Amino acid sequence: MSDFRIASRYAKALFDRAVETSSLDVVKNDIDHLKVLVAESREFVLFLQSPLYKKSSKQDALKKLFASANELTLNVFLLMAEKHRESMIPEMGVAFLRMYNNHNQIVEVTVESAVALDSKTIGDIEAYVMAQSNAKTIQLTQNINPSLIGGLTIEFGGKIYDNTVSNQLRKIKKELQLA
């Protein structure tokens, strides 16, 4: 079984239990904390993946790092460590956030452009995504990439809308090579 499927099963169990106990938002905050920790500390990820550390030392570290976390969240982390699945904790967090977003009709959108976008353009993008996806809430992340020359890409729901100048130039170049 793939690591992603295993991590997804732990995430599903955590999600279902959080819904049952009405602690979904609290658990989501714990997973957000995990996401930040994974993004900021490569050492943490390497520690979880390392076979050199004993199970008990990994569990102790998780208890200290997530001392303020909900008991449910901490118990899932400790269970994963007990079953030698601690290296899948970051993937489990990603799967949980995906489930949370689906449950709350939240769509994550990544916009990449050559320059920073003004608030009107961002509002237009959010309106477009809401119309396309029937989302209640949009979480928009903007990346600036000068190599795009102009235009922008919008990525959400597994789709990419690319209307950049660099992409248009690439298409023209391809057409000229075929002619």
140: pLDDT strictly greater than 80? yes
Q: How many C-beta atoms surround the C-beta of residue 49 within 10 A?
A: 14
Task: Give the per-residue pLDDT at 69.
Answer: 94
* Chain segment 82-91, per-residue pLDDT in tens: 999 999 999 9
End-to-end CA distance of the chain: 48
Cβ-proximal residues to 10 (8 Å cutoff; 6+ apart), any chain: 76, 79, 80, 85, 88, 92, 95
Whether the per-residue pLDDT at 100 is higher than 70: the answer is: yes
pLDDT at 57 over 90: yes
The fraction of the chain above a pLDDT of 70, given in percent, is 99
The tokens describing 79, both together, are 């269970």
- Region 20-41 average pLDDT: 95
Q: How far apart are CA 62 and CA 92, in angstroms?
A: 15
CA distances from 169 to 61, 145, 149, 155 (A): 51, 16, 10, 20
Q: Report the pLDDT value the prediction gives residue 1, as an integer from 0 to 100.
A: 66
pLDDT digits (tens, 9 = 90+) for 7-21: 999 999 999 999 999
Distance, in Å, from the CA atom of 17 to the CA atom of 59, rounded to the nearest integer, reads: 21
Q: What is the mean pLDDT of the chain?
A: 91
For residue 19, the tally of other CB atoms under 10 A from its CB is 14
**How many of the other CB atoms lie within 10 Å of CB of 9?**
15
> Looking at residues 55-83, what average pLDDT do you find?
94
pLDDT at residue 157, rounded to an integer: 85
